[in-house]
Amino acid sequence: MSKHVVVIGGGVAGLEVAGQLSKAGIEVSVIEKEINTGGHLNNWYRLFPDRRDSSEVKEYLDGMTHNHGINLLTNTTIEVFKRNTSHFLITTNGGKELTADAIIIATGFDLFKSSRKEEYGYGIYDNVITSVDLEKMFRKGKIALTNQTVPETIGIIHCVGSRDEKVGNFYCSKLCCVTAVKQAIEIREFLPDSKVFCFYMDMRMGGAFYEELYREAQEKWGVNFIRGKVSEASETIENKLLIKVEDTLAGRPLKMKLDMLVLMAGMEMSEDGEKIAGIVGLKTGENRFFAATDNLIGSNRSNIDGVFYAGSCTAPMNIPETISHARAAVVEVIDYLNDGIR
């Protein structure tokens, strides 16, 4: 008999899972809360490490899902979740009822809300933007200040909302150092006369080709890396941003005037993920992401038999890691559907 799996979340992880399960002959429904699938991928212009256009990855994912007749329910969330002896019963916000043999949670992450770090002035000062705002400028082909002039000096602040006791996030978001390096290079490409400064606590370049990108940023593009924590930003009368930094390598405090500040906001457990955890009865960890039953050999398994995780709803992940985690979830689900043993 044909089996039916419901995937909650239609980002990179959810679409990869759906495509692979469908190829294996399993009926799949994807529940996506937004009108479009793709999740955060839709916000990025060129991707690290090789700066490919993100639309190439989206095309791959669309191909996976369109070719295999997946039941895609967009603008949809789940309202009710029940389990009987052998099936899961789901009711959507539109009142649609679905019966599933297994569930995959792929609800992804939320970007840290930078306005929570008041000391950096996001939403208060002109020209304090986030990495996402900068991606939008890249896509438009124009980096501009609010008065439409071109910035000459740009500062990038790492670790915004990550490794930060004050906001309750002790973990490292893993991808913001490489995002900063990629964006610093792109700013220099767009604006060859600009000066770019990255303010970091540690450079964490733990991915294939990340270190090479870091080297390129320094040697080819002349990006300045300053080891130090920015304590605050303020706006001057001539509409510049004044930042105070503790330069921990030089061992002295530093003040600098810049035209633009870019905040490298980290990744957090999504609010909708938290709701799903409540509705379904799933455990979350110390970092508030979904908690797998075993971080070494069971990172797709949840505390409920037949419910599995895929992608960045469990931890910060880049796209290749998300795709691998999604494929691993497919193997777990197929094992479960075959013999019910995890």
Ligand X SMILES: Cc1cc2nc3c(=O)[nH]c(=O)nc-3n(C[C@H](O)[C@H](O)[C@H](O)COP(=O)(O)OP(=O)(O)OC[C@H]3O[C@@H](n4cnc5c(N)ncnc54)[C@H](O)[C@@H]3O)c2cc1C
Binding site for ligand SF4 (CB under 6 A): 158-159, 162-163, 172-174, 176-177, 202, 204, 264, 266
Q: Are strands 252-258 and 241-247 parallel, antiparallel or unpaired?
A: antiparallel
Please report how close the Cβ of residue 234 comes to ligand X at its closest, in angstroms: 25
- Residue 312 interacting with ligand X (CB under 6 A): yes
- Residue 10 interacting with ligand X (CB under 6 A): yes
Q: How far apart are CA 189 and CA 168, in angstroms?
A: 36
Instruction: Choose from ligand SF4, ligand X, none: what does 56 bind? Cβ within 5-8 Å by kind.
Output: none
Peptide bond into 49 cis (omega under 30): yes
Q: 64: helix, coil or strand?
A: helix
Please report how close the Cβ of residue 9 comes to ligand X at its closest, in angstroms: 3
Instruction: Choose from ligand X, ligand SF4, none: what does 172 bind? Cβ within 5-8 Å by kind.
Output: ligand SF4
Is residue 32 a contact partner of residue 81, using CB atoms and an 8 Å limit?
no
Q: Which stretch binds ligand X (CB under 6 A): 44-52, 81-89, 157-165, 284-292?
A: 44-52
Please provide the DSSP assignment of 155-197 as one string. Answer: EEEEEETSSBGGGTB-S--SSHHHHHHHHHHHHHHH-TT-EEE
- 4: β partners: 27
Site string for ligand X, 106-145 (x = CB under 6 A): xxxx-x-------------------x--------------
The Cβ-side half-sphere exposure at 193, using a 13 Å CA radius, reads 3
- Residue 306 interacting with ligand X (CB under 6 A): no
Site string for ligand X, 188-227 (x = CB under 6 A): ----------------------------------------
Please report how close the Cβ of residue 11 comes to ligand X at its closest, in angstroms: 2
- 143: β partners: none
